[in-house]
Structure 1
Amino acid sequence: MSTDSTAALVKSPGAASDGPAEAGPSGRGPRSRSAAAYLRYVAGKLAGAAVSLFAVLVTSFFLFRMIPGDPVKHMTQGRPVSTEQLAAMRREFGLDLPLWQQFTDYCAKALTGDFGMSYQFRAPVIDKITEALPATLLLTGTAFVIYTVLGIWLGARSAWRGGRFGDRFGTAFALTLYSVPSFWLGLLLIVTLSVGVGPIPGIFPTGGMESGGQSGFAHVLDVAHHMVLPVLTLVAVEYARTLLVMRSSLLDEMGSDYLTTARAKGLRDDAVRRRHAVPNALLPTVTLLFVNLGNTVAGAILVETVFSWPGLGGLFYQALSVPDLPLVQGLFFLFAAAVILMNTLADVIYPLLDPRVGR
C-alpha cells in the first residue's frame, strides 16, 4: 500500500473503497440513490424552516400585543391632545381595526418584506433595520471571529492535554465566564475600565460607537476604541461555549484507531492533532458556529443596550419601551429568521461533511 493511500485511510477511517459501484435492482447506482436521499433530506429541512418562519410570524404579532401600554398615548405623552386627535392617530396606524384584520394585513405585507411604519420614527421598519444592521454586524461579527478562533484553539489544546493543570484551570475559567450574565459583565467592565477604580484609570469610552468630529483613519481608530469593551464582553461570554464543545468532541476522538495509526507512522504529536484529530472533531462545532452566526445577525441586545451601541439590539430596546409594535415585530422576526436559517444551513451542510447524517 502506498504512503498516499495510507494517509487517506488515516484521515478517513472506515471509508469505502474507490472501486466501481454496482447498480441496484432499479438500475441506479449507490451514488444516485445517495443523491436522491440527500435531496429528500434537504427538502424536508427547507419545509421545516418554512413552517418555523410562519410560526414566528404569527407569534411576533400576538406576543407583543400582550405588552401593557398604549402606543398612541405614549407618543403623545406630555402634550395636550384631544380625543379626536388620538382617534385620528389610531386610524393612521391601523389600531382601530379589528384584531383579525390587523393580523391578516400584517401577514400579507410581511410576506412581501413590508413590516409597516414605525410609530416613533415615522419611517418604514425595513429602513430602520437597514440603518442599524451594519453597526450590529461590525460589533458581533468581530466578536464572532475572535471567540470562534479562540474557542477552537483553546478547546483543542485543552482536550489534547486533558487532566493537566492548564486543562482544569481553562475549563473552570470558561465555565465561570459562560455562567456570568453578559449585562453584568459589561457593567463591571464599564466601572473598572471606563470610569476607573482606585489605581486603574478609565481608558475606554462608556458607550456609543464614535466620538464624532473625526474622519479617515482617525475615525477608524475611534470606532475601534469604542468597540473594545463590548467586543470583550461578547468574547468573554461566548468563547466558552465553543471551547467546551470543541474540547468534548476532541476527547471523543482521542482513542480512535486512526490516531494510533498516524502515530505509528512516526508523525509528531502536534501533527497528529492538527492534521487528523482536530478536523474530525470539528464536525459538532460546525453546527454551533452556524447557530452563532444566526445570533450574530440577531445581535446582543443586552450588550448593545449597556454600551449604547447603535445596532439592532439598541433599536429593539427602544421599540419595546413605546411599544412600537411594527418595529418590535419586524426585529423579532429578523432575529428568529436568522437563527432558523442558519440552523437549516447547518443541517444542509452537515451531511456533506459527515455522510452518516441524513441516512
Structure 2
Amino acid sequence: MTATTAVVAPAPVDRKRTGYLRYGAGKLGGALISLVAVLVTGFFLFRIIPGDPVKAMTHGMPTSAEQLATLRGQFGLDLPLWRQFTDYCGKALTGDLGLSYQFHAPVGELIAQKLPATLLLTGTAVLLYSTLGLWLGTRSAWRHGGRADRLTTGVALTLWSVPSFWLGLLLIITFAVGVGPLPGLFPTGGMESGGERGFAYAIDVAHHLVLPVLTLVAVGYAQTLLVVRSSLLDEMGGDYLTTARAKGLRDAAVRRRHAVPNALLPTVTMVFINLGHVVAGSILVETVFSWPGLGGLFYQALSVPDLPLVQGLFIVFAGAMIVMNLLADLIYPLLDPRVRR
C-alpha cells in the first residue's frame, strides 16, 4: 500500500490588490512627472515677463549703475540662465523657495503667513458651493424638464458665464457702497476692521467674509450643479434603476442608493479640483476684495515681478492641484472597480 501525498495548491494571488497597486503606482509616477514639469515651467514661464525686477524695486530712488549691478549680484540675476535654473531646482527640491525681492523674507514664510486667510475664504466657499451644487444638481436632474429644473439650470448657466471679478465688483457697488436708498451693509474689502478681540473679532471677520464668499459660491455652485446634473442624467436611463423600482424601492431610495453613487466619478474629480483651489485661492476675488491671502500675494509678486515669490506660489498652487487630482485618481477604483482595468 503506497502512501499518497497531498498536493497543496499555491495560495491564489490577490489580483484586486495587485491591480490596484499597479494602478496607483502608475498614477503616482504621472503625478511626479507633472511636478517636475511644474518646476521647469515655473522657472522659464516667469522669465519671459517683461520688466527688470531690480529697476522695479528701486523705482523712484536715485540708484547708480554700480548699485544696480550689486543688487543683481545679490539676487543671483547676473548668473547665466542655466546656472540660475540649476540653483533654483536644487533649492526647490530641498524645500527652499528662495528669498523675496520686495519683502526681503523667505518665500516659504510669506506663504505660511498668508495661507490661513486663503484657507478660511476658499475653504468656506468650497464647502458651501459643493454642498449646494450637489443638492440642487441631483434634484434638478431627477425632475429634469420641469419648471424648477429650467429655472435652476438657467440661473446656473448665467452665473457660470459671469467673470468672478465682475460679479465681485457688482456686489461691492450694491451691498458695500450702496445704491440709491439701499445703504452699504458690508465692508468693501479687507479681512478685519482692527481693534477687535475674542468673539467680536470672529464676528468682524465673518462680516468681511460675506461678499467674497458669496462671489465664489455664486460661480462655484453653478459649475457643480451642471456637472452633477449631466452625470446623473446619463445614469437615469440605466436598467438597474428600473430593476430597483420593480423591487418596490421608493423613488428617493432609488436616487440615493443607486443613481447618485454611479454618477459620482465626474463629481469626485470636480470636488478634488475644488479642494486644490482651497490652497490656490482665487487671485481675482482676493484682489478685488483686498483679501490678505495667497491670491493677493501672487498679484503683488507679479507687479514687480518678484521672481522667487511668483515661482514659489506657482509651485504651491500647481502642486496642490496635482495632489488633489492624484487623490481623486486613487479613489476612483474604490467607487468603480472597472477603472483599474
- TM-score range (shorter-chain normalised) is over 0.9
- Residue aligning to 2:136: 154
- Alignment of 1:213 with 2:165, yes or no, is no
Structure-1 separation of matches of 2:193 and 2:164: 24
Q: CA deviation at 1:295?
A: 1.6
Specify the code of the residue in structure 1 equivalent to 2:118: T
- Residue aligning to 1:178: 160
The 3 A distance-change label for structure 1 pair 263 and 217 is: same
- Alignment of 1:117 with 2:96, yes or no, is no
Structure-1 separation of matches of 2:66 and 2:273: 49
Specify the code of the residue in structure 2 equivalent to 1:225: H
- Which one of the candidate residues 254, 258, 264 is aligned to 2:240? 258
- Alignment of 1:93 with 2:93, yes or no, is no
Specify the code of the residue in structure 2 equivalent to 1:180: V
Q: CA deviation at 1:43?
A: 0.8
Structure-1 separation of matches of 2:81 and 2:25: 34
Matches within 5 A, 1:32-111: 32-111=14-93
Which range is displaced more, 279-288 or 342-351? 279-288
- Residue aligning to 1:17: none
Structure-1 separation of matches of 2:156 and 2:36: 37
Alignment root-mean-square deviation, CA: 1.3
Deviations 1:152-171 (A, max 9, x none): 00000001111001101111
Structure-2 separation of matches of 1:336 and 1:278: 30
Q: CA deviation at 1:173?
A: 0.9
Deviations 1:162-188 (A, max 9, x none): 100110111111011001100000001
Q: CA deviation at 1:27?
A: 4.8
Specify the code of the residue in structure 2 equivalent to 1:292: N
Structure-2 separation of matches of 1:352 and 1:269: 26
- Alignment of 1:283 with 2:276, yes or no, is no
- Residue aligning to 1:18: none
Which range is displaced more, 345-354 or 102-111? 345-354
- Residue aligning to 1:227: 209
- Residue aligning to 2:307: 325
Structure-2 separation of matches of 1:228 and 1:193: 10
Q: CA deviation at 1:28?
A: 5.8
Q: TM-score, length-normalised on structure 2? A: 0.95
- Which one of the candidate residues 92, 117, 122 is aligned to 1:140? 122
Which range is displaced more, 81-90 or 134-143? 81-90
SS in 2 for 1:266: coil
- Residue aligning to 1:347: 329
Structure-2 separation of matches of 1:32 and 1:244: 39
- Residue aligning to 2:292: 310
Structure-2 separation of matches of 1:93 and 1:27: 64
- Residue aligning to 1:8: none
The 3 A distance-change label for structure 1 pair 207 and 278 is: same
- Alignment of 1:189 with 2:146, yes or no, is no
Q: CA deviation at 1:320?
A: 0.4
Structure-2 separation of matches of 1:268 and 1:42: 38
Specify the code of the residue in structure 1 equivalent to 2:111: I
Which range is displaced more, 248-257 or 343-352? 248-257
Structure-1 separation of matches of 2:196 and 2:16: 58
Structure-1 separation of matches of 2:258 and 2:97: 49
Specify the code of the residue in structure 1 equivalent to 2:81: L
SS in 1 for 2:103: coil
- Residue aligning to 1:13: none
Structure-1 separation of matches of 2:175 and 2:71: 46
Structure-2 separation of matches of 1:286 and 1:28: 36
- Residue aligning to 1:240: 222
Structure-1 separation of matches of 2:77 and 2:109: 22
Q: TM-score, length-normalised on structure 1? A: 0.90
Gaps in structure 1 of 5+ consecutive residues: 1-25
Q: How much identity, in percent, do the aligned residues show?
A: 75
Deviations 1:286-311 (A, max 9, x none): 11111111122111000000000000
SS in 2 for 1:356: helix
Q: CA deviation at 1:38?
A: 1.3
Structure-2 separation of matches of 1:282 and 1:102: 45
Q: CA deviation at 1:37?
A: 1.6
Structure-2 separation of matches of 1:123 and 1:149: 39
Structure-1 separation of matches of 2:331 and 2:198: 40
SS in 1 for 2:337: coil
Q: CA deviation at 1:199?
A: 2.3
* Number of positions where the alignment pairs a residue of Structure 1 with one of Structure 2: 333
Q: Give runs of ≥4 in structure 1 deviating > 3 Å.
A: 26-29
